[in-house]
Amino acid sequence: MATPQTLYLVIPCYNEEPVLEETHRRLHQKLTSMIEQNLIAPNSRMLFVNDGSKDNTWGVIEALYAQDPLVAGLKLSRNRGHQNALLAGLMTAKEYADMMISLDADLQDDVDAIDQFVEQYYQGKDIVYGVRSSRETDTFFKRSTAQGFYKMMRALGVDIIDNHADYRLMSRRAVEGLAQFKEVNLFLRGVVPLIGFPSGVVTYERQKRFAGESKYPLKKMLAFAFDGITSFSIKPIRLITILGLLIFAASLIALAVLLVLKLIGHTVQGWTTLMGSIWLIGGIQLFSLGVIGEYIGKIYSEVKARPMYLIDQLIIR
Ligand code: UDP
Ligand code: MG
- State in Å: Cα 273 to ligand 1 middle: 50
| Statement: residue 273 has pLDDT above 80 | no
41, 199, 215, 228, 235 from 154: Cα distances, Å? 39, 19, 26, 11, 12
Q: Which amino acid is at 276?
A: G
Smallest Cα–Cα separation from 312: which of 78, 82, 15, 62? 78
140-144, 169-173, 222-226, 274-278: which is most confident:
169-173
Distance between CA atoms of 258 and 73, rounded to whole angstroms?
A: 72
13, 89, 194, 206 from 312: Cα distances, Å? 15, 13, 30, 32
16 band by pLDDT with thresholds 50, 70 and 90: very high
Query: What is the model's pLDDT at position 159?
Result: 84
Compare 304 and 316 and report the one with higher pLDDT: 316
Query: What is the model's pLDDT at position 160?
Result: 87
Distance between CA atoms of 119 and 125, rounded to whole angstroms?
A: 9
Distance between CA atoms of 103 and 118, rounded to whole angstroms?
A: 14
Ligand 1 pocket at CB < 6 A: 12-14, 16, 51, 79, 81-82, 85, 104-106, 108, 214-216
Mean pLDDT in residue range 47-70: 97
Smallest Cα–Cα separation from 184: which of 231, 221, 234? 231
Mutate to test the pocket of ligand 1, among 10, 14, 53 (most ligand atoms within 8 A of CB): 14
Segment 141-153, tens digit of pLDDT: 888 888 888 888 8
> What homologous superfamily is domain 7-232+306-315 in, according to CATH?
Spore Coat Polysaccharide Biosynthesis Protein SpsA; Chain A (3.90.550.10)
| DSSP letter (8 states) at residue 206 | B
**H or E, element range at 48:** strand 45-50
| Statement: residue 1 has pLDDT above 60 | no
Compare 89 and 239 and report the one with higher pLDDT: 89
| Statement: residue 35 has pLDDT above 90 | yes
Segment 86-112, tens digit of pLDDT: 999 999 999 999 999 999 999 899 999
This prediction's pTM: 0.82
Mutate to test the pocket of ligand 1, among 26, 213, 216, 227 (most ligand atoms within 8 A of CB): 216
For ligand 1, atom 22, name the residue with the nearest CA.
214
For ligand 1, atom 8, name the residue with the nearest CA.
81
Starting from the edge strand earliest in sequence, which strands make up the sheet with 164-171, in order? Answer: 199-204, 127-132, 164-171, 99-102, 7-13, 45-50, 71-76, 311-315
Query: What is the model's pLDDT at position 242?
Result: 85
Mean pLDDT in residue range 278-305: 84
- The answer for residues whose C-beta is within 8 angstroms of residue 18's C-beta and 6 or more apart is 211, 212
